[in-house]
A = this chain, B = another copy of it.
Amino acid sequence: MRLQHATWQEVEAYLTRHTGIIVPIGSTEQHGPNGLVGTDAICPEAIAWALGERHDVLVAPTQNIGMAQHHLAFPGTLSLAPSTLIAVLRDTIVSLARHGFTHVFFLNGHGGNIATIKAAFAEVYTQRSLDGDDQPLNLSLYSWFSGQRGRELAASLYGDAEGNHATASEVALSWYAAGVEKSVAMSPRLAPKGSADCDADTFRRRFPDGRMGSDPSLAKVEHGKRFLETGVEDAWEAYRAFLAG
């Protein structure tokens, strides 16, 4: 069930049987010559919606903008400062806790979000650790691209050409989910490798077309369908493990 498509009374009823929720979180940032700016939001959203359809789990609306400062030298990238994203996640979590949700599972599509999401969890916990809040609150961060089934599939399809940003697997999944496809030649075929821990101009000098170590021209829409399936299985396993504590 998607929260956006539910009435409040349906949410009220849901909370009597389950107090967990999945929150897709992505980014709006360049993904190389043939990757979509929305890749990192589209991928976890597609997985989350499938989970919501197949299992009786509520899916919150997607946090479409993440922490993407290093991509700001490429047109179309939007970025929240870490301090802003922390505030957004804090407000989201305390809103959910207000209603009695006890397990909030962030289904993430962007590696650059991870540190800030963890810091946001600590910001929320800090208040509770000082105030001694009694209601249980469990927060989990899971990145779809870290799932074992998906990683194996990517390795089998692309080998080393999977890369680190604008990966072949995320391009494939986002194309499938969004119903779009872009045909762009890559030059060089494999993008340079390196660190993204830098500012935007430095990043663009290191990675001129935005890719990091990948050859996403290998991506195909039909691969995307398979990544959706592995993604759903991986994420559902992670969610159940989260509930199990």
Q: Interface on A for B, CB 8 Å cutoff?
A: 2-9, 11-12, 15, 28, 30-38, 41-42, 60-65, 67, 69-70, 72-84, 86-88, 90-92, 94-96, 98-100, 112, 114-123, 125-126, 128-130, 132-133, 136-140, 178, 180, 182, 184, 197-202, 210
Distance between Cα atoms of A120 and B139 in the complex (Å): 21
Instruction: Establish whether residues A75 and B99, one from each chain, have CB atoms under 8 Å apart when the complex forms.
Output: yes
CB-CB under 8 A from A119, the residues of chain B are 67, 82, 86, 115-116, 119
Instruction: Establish whether residues B76 and A3, one from each chain, have CB atoms under 8 Å apart when the complex forms.
Output: yes
Instruction: Establish whether residues B4 and A178, one from each chain, have CB atoms under 8 Å apart when the complex forms.
Output: yes
Give which listed residue, B8, B182, B184, contacts A77 with CB less than 8 A. Answer: B8
Instruction: Establish whether residues B72 and A8, one from each chain, have CB atoms under 8 Å apart when the complex forms.
Output: no
Can you name the residue of chain B whose Cβ is closest to the Cβ of A179? Answer: B5
Instruction: Establish whether residues B76 and A84, one from each chain, have CB atoms under 8 Å apart when the complex forms.
Output: no
A79 nearest CB across to chain B (Å): 5
CB-CB under 8 A from A140, the residues of chain B are 197
Give 6 closest A-B pairs by Cβ, nearest first.
A4-B38, A115-B118, A11-B76, A129-B200, A61-B64, A8-B30
Instruction: Establish whether residues A28 and B60, one from each chain, have CB atoms under 8 Å apart when the complex forms.
Output: yes
Distance between Cα atoms of A222 and B33 in the complex (Å): 40
CB-CB under 8 A from A126, the residues of chain B are 69, 79, 81-82
Give which listed residue, B33, B41, B182, contacts A4 with CB less than 8 A. Answer: B41
Distance between Cα atoms of A182 and B116 in the complex (Å): 37
Instruction: Establish whether residues A198 and B138, one from each chain, have CB atoms under 8 Å apart when the complex forms.
Output: yes
- 5 sampled A-B residue pairs with Cβ under 8 A: A5-B37, A6-B36, A8-B76, A11-B75, A69-B126
A135 nearest CB across to chain B (Å): 11
Instruction: Establish whether residues B8 and A37, one from each chain, have CB atoms under 8 Å apart when the complex forms.
Output: yes
Give which listed residue, B31, B92, B98, B115, contacts A122 with CB less than 8 A. Answer: B115
**Most B CB within 10 A of own CB, among A5, A33, A67:** A5
Instruction: Establish whether residues A91 and B86, one from each chain, have CB atoms under 8 Å apart when the complex forms.
Output: no
Known: A4-B36, A76-B8. A197 touches B94 (CB 8 A): no
